[in-house]
Amino acid sequence: MPTMNIIEAVRDALRTQMRADSRVVVLGEDVGKFGGVFRATSGLVEEFGAERVIDTPLAEAGIIGTAIGMALYGLRPVPEIQFGDFIFPAVDQIVNELAKFRYRSGGQYPCPVVIRTPVGGGIRGGHYHSQSPEVLFIHTPGIKVVAPSNPYDAKGLLLACMRQNDPVLFMEPKRIYRASKGEVPEGEYTVEIGKAAVVREGTQCTVLAWSGMTSIAEEAGKKAEAAGISVEVIDLRTLMPFDIDTILDSVKKTGRCVVVHEAPKTAGFGGELVASIQERALEYLEAPILRVAGFDTPFPYTLEHEYLPNADRVLGAIRQTLEW
C-alpha cells in the first residue's frame, strides 16, 4: 500500500473519479497547466485535457456560478477555491443558489458540486490566507461540510463526496498538506460521510477536533497519558452532518469534554457542539464543556503560532475539567 500525504491523496481521488466518470470536471484558478497553487491538481490536465481541467479567471463567484450551471446540465464539477479566505465573493452563489436548488425544485434538480478549498493557518499566510470559515456554511441548510485530517480520510471522503448528489464544501488543512502522511489504498474506496472516528481511546475526558486540529488533540492526548490522564480523541471528519451518536457515546463514558478548533471562539462551531451535547447528555457531565480555539481577532501574521491552539493549551483545558 503506497504512502501518501494529503495533497497526493486528494490528487489520487480526483484522478480515480475522473477515470471512472467522464462527467467529473475540475475548474478553478491555476488548476490546469500550473497544477494548483499547492499542486493538488498537478498532472490532471495532461491526462484529461483542458475541457475537463479548466483554468478560470480570478473570479470566485464566477467559478461557483459556472459549476452550478454545469451540475444542473448533468456534469459533476469539482471547483477549487484557491484559499478558503477567497470563498467570500462566492457566498451568495453558495448560500442562495447552490445549497437551495434541490429544495426549491422539490427534489427535481440535485446540484452535485464538490467545492475544494484549503483552510486554516500555520503557513505564514497572514490574515488573508489563514482563516477557517466552516461555521458560515455549517449554518447553511442544504450543503454538507467535510474536513479531513489525514491522507486516508482525504481520499476516501473526497471520493464519497463526488459520488453523491448533494453539494459539498470539502475543506482541506493546508498546514499539514505535506506533513500528514499515511498509507492510502490504491484504487477505489470511500469513507462514510457523517461518521466520526475515535482516533484515541480513553476514559477520563473526550476531546473533539477536526481538520488540522486533530493532530494537536492527539498530541495533547499523549501528553495527558504521560501525566496519568486517559483521554479519548474524536476526529469529527464531517461537520455537517456531524456524528452526534459517536460524540455522545464518548461523553457518556468520560463525563468530560473539550472541543478544539482553529476558528475564533465566539460563535464558532464548538458552541454548537457544546449545546448539542448538553441538550442530550447533561446528566452524564461531571464538569462544564470547555473550548480551546482561535482568538477573537483577525488572524495574525507574526504571532500565528500564539493564535493557533497547541497541545499545551488543550492539555490545560483537560486538566481544568478534571479539577472542576
Enzyme catalytic residues: 129
Q: What is the C-alpha to C-alpha distance for residues 33 and 45, in angstroms, rounded to an integer?
A: 7
Among 310, 308, 311, 274, CA closest to 291: 274
Residues 5-30 as b or e (16 or more Cβ within 10 Å = b): bbbbbbbbbbebbbeeeebbbbbbbb
Q: Collapse the DSSP code of 207 into the 3-class scheme (helix H, G, I; strand E, B; otherwise coil) and give the result.
A: strand
> 164 phi and psi, to 5 degrees?
-115, 175
Look up residue 273 and give its DSSP letter: H
Place of cell 458540486: 113
Distance CA 40, CA 31 (A): 8
